[in-house]
Amino acid sequence: MRNIRMVISYVGTSYHGFQTQPIGNTVQDVLEQAIVVLTGEKVNITASGRTDAGVHARGQVINFLTSSPIPVHRWALALNSRLPDDISVLRADEVPLDFHASYSAKRKTYRYSIDTNKFADIFERYYRFHYPMPLRLPEMRAALAKLVGQHDFTSFASQRSTKRTHTRTVISARLDESEGKLDLFITGDGFLYNMVRIIVGTLLRVGEGKWNVDDVVRILAAKDRTKAGPTAMAHGLMLWEVEYDD
Amino acid sequence: MRNIRMVISYVGTSYHGFQTQPIGNTVQDVLEQAIVVLTGEKVNITASGRTDAGVHARGQVINFLTSSPIPVHRWALALNSRLPDDISVLRADEVPLDFHASYSAKRKTYRYSIDTNKFADIFERYYRFHYPMPLRLPEMRAALAKLVGQHDFTSFASQRSTKRTHTRTVISARLDESEGKLDLFITGDGFLYNMVRIIVGTLLRVGEGKWNVDDVVRILAAKDRTKAGPTAMAHGLMLWEVEYDD
């Protein structure tokens, strides 16, 4: 058996998230089906993490075991010719058998994109959450800085989270702005379910002046999901990059 | 009667171009229908210029006469609530009765976008022509510079052009590159039918090394469409901005 790793990109708009589920129509289903067509072999894809319905990926990482002899440099082109145009394999390589796209991941980066202009840029309408409000960027950036570091992020995790511990390290975070468009880039050693979207929902309240930096410190310390802001819309979120030690 | 001017943006992917035609499903049809629903009045929209099927607009300018008393600051929001999400009114103002979106235009800027990476960025797949080839950018830029100024652009006009004169002035042009993505911005006092797309098709041949700067000078002087390169794909083109004297 060989262990194949791939970096893939997908537009989440038309899918019920990454991971296979009874309702069907997931990115995983489509990928596994394309691999069956290519190799004649049913594989079981492992991703660096699932993404929810509507969430996009620029650089999702997956791996799977296969006995196919297809040379690794042929996989991307061969699969792309069999995939719909909203899913793309960017590269493929062969990795040791103990490589696991999720357990081996060291850092992940997400981007969350917001359009604060009165009328949304229609060319980014599926990727950028339209929130036409004046926002206090300095306060948002100061609040964001309070989340960097190792913390118990229970306040910023879905109550459906089943993780044993909610302690995670946010390694870096920045909020870019250009012509009324905001892009939050946040890198961490791992993220809890809905964590980036709840951080964004909370930062938007800070931006609107409903909360201050001190409120965010208080929310973080509370370890209580009900204290934080709402979960921001899925379509503004993109899994940007997953990093490994190699 | 009042003369209303609007700046509009549209994703051209789903339309048979801007201008009304027998086959239907044009941007003009959809806009005029939304105005009828809003005002009860049939209007006749004039655009700064038509755009072909699949071509996009970031800042198309239109005008029309109406007797509707709706205040000008209400038009954009009122129409956007009645338009599909791939057409958007960015702003509206009232202009003198002799304003004409096409005849009054002083300068137009188009953008043409190319993705030279092996695998296309799927998030821009409807806006950026995928041309996965290594290109000689310095030569392309040198050739582009030869087109700046006042010239007879017959070699770069569709043979279906019905214009009396093919002399136009390219005021400025630049070719940006970032991570394998090229964006040509070209500003002129007017453009002939397919002119930007033929310029791009010609520059691509220069980029591939099939032609040199001298060939482009020769092509321009020939005033013969058959000497220039092919017409590049419509979906990479976007009407970027139209400027008026006010």
Please write the tens of the pLDDT for every residue from A2-15.
Answer: 999 999 999 999 99
Confidence of residue A94 (pLDDT cuts 50, 70, 90): very high
Domain membership of residue B101 (yes or no) is no
Looking at the fold, whether A52 and A122 belong to one and the same domain comes out as: no
Mean pLDDT of chain B: 97
Contacts of A40 (CB under 8 A, 6+ apart): none
Domain membership of residue A101 (yes or no) is no
Looking at the fold, whether A156 and A223 belong to one and the same domain comes out as: yes
pLDDT at A241: 98
**Residue B122, min C-alpha distance to chain A (Å):** 6
- pLDDT at A201 > cutoff 90: yes
- pLDDT at B124 > cutoff 80: yes
Domain membership of residue B100 (yes or no) is no
Looking at the fold, whether A203 and A118 belong to one and the same domain comes out as: yes
Q: What is the ipTM of this complex?
A: 0.91
Domain membership of residue A59 (yes or no) is yes
Among candidates A36, A4, A2, A31, which has minimal Cα distance to A17?
A31
- pLDDT at A246 > cutoff 90: no
Strands A237-243, A56-66: pairing kind: parallel
Main-chain dihedrals φ then ψ at residue A198, nearest 5 degrees? -75, -35
Active-site residue list of A: 52
Confidence of residue A170 (pLDDT cuts 50, 70, 90): very high
Exposed / middle / buried, residue B5 (Cβ in 10 Å: 0-12, 13-18, 19+): buried
Among candidates B148, B156, B153, B186, which has minimal Cα distance to B168?
B153
pLDDT at A159: 92
SS3 B197: helix
B residues 85-144 near A, CB within 8 Å? 85-90, 119-123, 125, 127
Give the pLDDT mean for B194-222.
98
Looking at the fold, whether B154 and B70 belong to one and the same domain comes out as: no
**Residue B77, min C-alpha distance to chain A (Å):** 8
SS3 A227: helix
Indicate the residue type of B182.
L
pLDDT at B23: 85
Percent of chain B residues past pLDDT 90, beyond the cut? 96
Instruction: Flag whether residue A53 sits within 8 Å of chain B, measured between CB atoms.
Output: no
Query: E strands within chain B?
Result: 2-10, 46-47, 56-66, 87-95, 107-115, 129-130, 149-152, 167-178, 181-188, 237-243
Instruction: Flag whether residue A73 sits within 8 Å of chain B, measured between CB atoms.
Output: no
| Vertex A86 angle, CA A83 and A89, to 5° | 55
Cβ–Cβ < 8 Å for A79, A91: no
Q: Give, in order, the Cα–Cα distances in Å from B1 to each of A182, B41, B65, B79, B227.
A: 41, 12, 6, 19, 49
Looking at the fold, whether B20 and B132 belong to one and the same domain comes out as: no
- pLDDT at B232 > cutoff 80: yes
pLDDT at B114: 98
Looking at the fold, whether B111 and B50 belong to one and the same domain comes out as: no
Helical spans, DSSP H, in chain A:
27-39, 72-80, 137-145, 195-207, 213-222
The domain that contains A120 carries what CATH number?
A: 3.30.70.660
Please write the tens of the pLDDT for every residue from A172-194.
Answer: 999 999 999 999 999 999 999 99
Domain membership of residue B102 (yes or no) is no
Would you mind telling me the total number of residues written for chain A in this entry?
A: 246
- pLDDT at A36 > cutoff 80: yes
Please write the tens of the pLDDT for every residue from B35-56.
Answer: 999 999 999 999 999 999 999 9
Main-chain dihedrals φ then ψ at residue B145, nearest 5 degrees? -60, -30
Q: Which of B28, B63, B95 is the last residue of a domain?
A: B95
Q: Which of B95, B120, B145 is the last residue of a domain?
A: B95
pLDDT at A60: 98
pLDDT at B246: 76
- pLDDT at A237 > cutoff 80: yes
Domain membership of residue A229 (yes or no) is yes
Looking at the fold, whether B86 and B121 belong to one and the same domain comes out as: no
The answer to the question of whether A103 is labelled as a binding residue is no
The domain that contains A16 carries what CATH number?
A: 3.30.70.580
Confidence of residue A23 (pLDDT cuts 50, 70, 90): confident
Among candidates A27, A88, A36, which has minimal Cα distance to A66?
A36
Looking at the fold, whether B10 and B131 belong to one and the same domain comes out as: no
pLDDT at B228: 98
Return d(Cα B125, Cα B32) in angstroms, integer.
Answer: 29
Strands A149-152, A167-178: pairing kind: antiparallel
Confidence of residue B178 (pLDDT cuts 50, 70, 90): very high
Give the pLDDT mean for B184-204.
97
Domain membership of residue B220 (yes or no) is yes
pLDDT at A99: 97
Residues from chain B that touch A80, judged by Cβ atoms under 8 A, are 119
> What is the count of structural domains for chain B?
2
Q: B12: which DSSP letter?
A: G
- pLDDT at B241 > cutoff 90: yes
- pLDDT at B93 > cutoff 80: yes
Q: Which of B69, B95, B121 is the last residue of a domain?
A: B95
Return d(Cα A191, Cα A151) in angstroms, integer.
Answer: 12
Contacts of A114 (CB under 8 A, 6+ apart): A128, A129, A130, A131, A181, A182, A183, A184, A200, A204, A236
Return d(Cα B111, Cα B89) in angstroms, integer.
Answer: 20
Q: Which domain holds residue A236?
A: 107-243
